[in-house]
Amino acid sequence: MTTLLPVIEAPRYRPPVLEIDASLTAEWLVAFLQDELVGRRGIRNAVLGLSGGVDSAVVAFLAARALGPEHVHCIRMPYKTSSPDSLADAQAVIDALGCDVRTIEITAAVDGYLQFEPDADARRRGNVMARTRMLVLFDQSSKLTALPIGTGNKTERLLGYFTWHADDSPPVNPIGDLFKTQVWQLARYLGVPARIVDKAPSADLEANQTDEGDLGITYLQADRILELILSGRADEHIVARGFAPSDVALVRRRVEGTHWKRHLPTTAMLSNTAINEFYLRPVDY
């Protein structure tokens, strides 16, 4: 009787890799912040909006490592409908790091405009709040001689889940190439308070709002699908790997509908010296 050979079967698919070496990532991003602020611009201070969420908490921790907490200015910018928990969670970051903090309520500024637009829906109101926060952040930047640091992650950038020329406007962003699930990994490594890492992410522009509710998909699923899309995989391939066709379609639609949000404004080209078309210089030149 023939003995059957033991079969060792290769897995059909390798799972999309979202795990990061958090220690290495932190070291890399700290060096990035030091080079960009101190090395290139000669600026020793950072200013950032501390929302109470995990993204800005991670950036605060990184900036404190890179520059020293005394050089990190955290600005809390609540609107009247913002959750009190957000302020408290932001305070937990301040307490952990010992960095400078200031609370500047944006209600009067936001309502000062919106009184003329009483019919503005939640999305428009949220955009006004986001843009007002950037107005504050850039003014504080000038006052404090501190560079604004961005806190947008790769997932929200890809899904277009941000206000154009608001959340994405700071000149330096350490976490913009990290998916949300990777930001969570980094947060745990850095020691961001667990209540911030574990809570449901929210833009906190409306009551009881959550990101995953707004988006219609969990971050874990979205990140896995995004990783496959960005690696060049077709939708049929992603579905064949077990992802729900509706989830794949949702993510694809959001990515493909928001390319414009990841670019500078479109400028009509008229010459052989059009900026960024013919006249090409790197940002650090």
Partner 1 sequence: MKVAIIQSKPRKGDVDSNLTDLGAAFAQIAGTSETYDLVVAPEAALTGYFLEGAVYERAFEAETLAQILADLWRENAGTARAPVDIVLGFYENAAGTYYNSALYLHVEPDAHRIVHVHRKMFLPTYGVFDEERFLSRGRRLQAFDTRFGRMAILICEDAWHAIMPMLAAIKGARVLIVPSASPGRGLAEGGELESVLHWRNVLRSYAVEHGVFVLYAGLAGFEGGKGMTGSSSVIDPFGDTIVAAPALGTHLISASIELSDIDVARARLPLLGDLSAVLPDLLLDAELMPYVSPASALKS
For partner 1, give the closer residue by CB, 79 or 179: 179
∠ CA 216-221-222, nearest 5°, is: 65
Q: What are phi and psi of 145, to 5 degrees?
A: 50, 55
For partner 1, give the closer residue by CB, 9 or 19: 19
For partner 1, give the closer residue by CB, 19 or 119: 19
Supply the minimum distance, in Å, between the C-beta of residue 53 and partner 1: 22
Q: Is 24 one of the binding residues for partner 1 (CB under 8 A)?
A: yes
Task: Using the rule CB under 8 A, give the single segment among 16-24, 132-140, 160-168, 257-265 that binds partner 1.
Answer: 16-24
Task: Using the rule CB under 8 A, give the single segment among 13-21, 58-66, 224-232, 238-246 that binds partner 1.
Answer: 13-21
Supply the minimum distance, in Å, between the C-beta of residue 11 and partner 1: 17
∠ CA 90-94-98, nearest 5°, is: 175
Q: Is 8 one of the binding residues for partner 1 (CB under 8 A)?
A: no
Q: Is 13 one of the binding residues for partner 1 (CB under 8 A)?
A: no
Pattern 161-190, partner 1, x by CB under 8 A: ---------------------x--------
Q: Which of 13, 113, 260, 279: binder of partner 1 (CB under 8 A)?
A: 279
Burial of 84 (0-12, 13-18, 19+ CB in 10 A): exposed
d(CA 238, CA 63): 37
Using CB under 8 A, count the residues that bind partner 1: 24
What is the rounded end-to-end Cα distance, in angstroms, of the chain? Answer: 75
Q: Which of 25, 82, 86, 132: binder of partner 1 (CB under 8 A)?
A: 25
SS3 117: coil
Q: Is 283 one of the binding residues for partner 1 (CB under 8 A)?
A: yes
Q: Is 21 one of the binding residues for partner 1 (CB under 8 A)?
A: yes
Q: Is 281 one of the binding residues for partner 1 (CB under 8 A)?
A: yes
For partner 1, give the closer residue by CB, 99 or 175: 175
| 46: enclosing H helix or E strand | strand 45-49
Of 77, 62, 58, 60, the C-alpha closest to 32 is 62
Supply the minimum distance, in Å, between the C-beta of residue 246 and partner 1: 29
Q: Which of 13, 15, 27, 269: binder of partner 1 (CB under 8 A)?
A: 27
The 8 Å CB, 24+ separation contacts for 110-113 are 110/79, 111/80
Q: What are phi and psi of 237, to 5 degrees?
A: -65, -45
Residue with tokens 């940002």: 283
In one letter, which amino acid is 219?
Y
> How far from chain centre, in Å, is Cα 282?
23
Contacts with partner 1 by CB under 8 A lie at 17, 19-21, 23-25, 27-28, 31-32, 35-36, 39-40, 182, 278-285
